[in-house]
Chain A
Amino acid sequence: MSTYVYGIARSSHPSLPDKADGIGDPPRPVRVIRQGQLAALVSDAPDNLRPKRRDLLAHQNVLRQAGEAGSVLPLRFGGVSPDDETLAAVLAEREEHYLERLGALDGKVEYNVKASHDEESVLHRVLADDPELRSLAEANRTAGGGTHEQKIQLGERIAAAVQQREARDGDLVRATLEGVCEEASAGPQSVGWLANLSFLVNRERSADFVNAVDALRVEQPHLVLTVTGPLPPYSFVE
C-alpha cells in the first residue's frame, strides 16, 4: 500500500490532524508518521489518484488544519511514497534541512495576489496620464471617429499605453506589498493577470497585509486585486 503525503511538521507540533478526513472517496483518514524530530501527515494512497476537486480540497484542508497550530511544510499535491518505510527514511535523511525550513516558516502564511485591470477605468487612466494621447482621442472623436487609419493608429497607441501600465502596476503591487511581508515570490504568469504574486506574511501581520491590499484598491481603482489566503506556504518551502 503506497502512502500519500500532505506535509511535514515537527514531531513536537501541538495538534496534528490525526484521523482527519483526507483524500479519496470515501476519505482516507490522516495518519501521522514520526521519525526523529519530524512527523509526516499521510493517508493510505487511493488507487488511481487524480487531481480532482474533492482531493485538492482535502489536501488543502488537512494542511490548513495542521498549519493553524504550528509550522508545516506543505507538499505539492500528488506526492506518494512507495510505503511508510521509504518516507521514514527520507525524513531521517533530510531531517536537518526540513527542520531548518520549518524554523524559517514558523508563524508565517502565504497570501496569493492576482492583479488585473478594470478595462474601462484603465482606459480613462492612460488617457488622463498622457495629454498627447488624450488630444489625439478627442481629435478623432470630433472628426466623427476619424479615418480608418487614424482609428487604427489611436487603437495601437492606447493598447501600448495599457501594456506599459500593466508592467508598471505589476511592479507597483509587488513593491507596495513587499513592505508588509517577509518574502515575495512570482507565481506562474498566465493570460488574464498582469501580476500573480505570492507573499510570505507573518501570521500576526495578516491584518496589515490585508489592509495594505485594501489601501492599494482605493489608491488605484483601475486595479482589480484578488487575494487568497492565509494559505500553507506552498511557494516558500524550497
Chain B
Amino acid sequence: MTVVPAQQQQQGRGGGSSGLYDVLELILDRGLVIDAFVRVSSSVSRS
C-alpha cells in the first residue's frame, strides 16, 4: 500500500505546537493512568 507522506499534519497548528512544549510534562506525567494497561512511554527516557 502506498502512503501519502503525512508531514503537513505537524505544521498545521503553530499555536498548539508552541504550547505543547510548555505542557509536555502534563501530557507525560499527568492524566489518567489505568493499572491494567501497559505503559509504553515509561520505558522511554524523557531527558
Binding site for B on A (CB under 8 A): 2, 5, 7-8, 21, 25-27, 45, 49-51, 53-54, 56-61, 64, 73-82, 86, 89-90, 110, 112, 114, 187-188, 190, 196, 198, 226, 228, 231-232, 234-235, 237-238
Contacts and interface: CB of A to CB of B under 8 A. Distances in A.
A50 B43 CA distance: 9
Interface residues of B, number: 32
A60 B27 contact: yes
Given A5-B37, A228-B19, A56 B24 contact: yes
B13 A81 contact: no
**What is the interface of chain A mostly: helix, strand, loop, or mixed?**
mixed
B16 A51 contact: no
Interface in B21-43: 22-34, 36-42
Given A57-B16, A80-B40, A235 B26 contact: yes
A60 B16 CA distance: 9
Q: Which of A8, A45, A49 has the most CB of B within 10 A?
A: A49
A26 B31 contact: no
Contact of A238 (B3, B16, B22, B32): B32
Contacts of B25: 187-188, 190, 196
B33 A79 contact: yes
Nearest to A112: B23
Interface of B: 3-4, 6, 9-10, 13, 16-17, 19-20, 22-34, 36-42, 44, 46
B16 to A, nearest CB: 7
Contacts of A228: 19, 22-23
Given A61-B13, A228-B19, A73 B41 contact: no
12 contacts: A2-B38, A50-B44, A51-B28, A53-B20, A75-B31, A75-B34, A76-B41, A79-B37, A80-B38, A81-B36, A232-B31, A234-B30
Contacts of B13: 57, 61
A57 B20 contact: yes
Given A54-B9, A57-B20, A61-B16, A8 B32 contact: yes
B10, B16, B20, B41, most chain A CB atoms within 10 A: B41
B44 A51 contact: yes
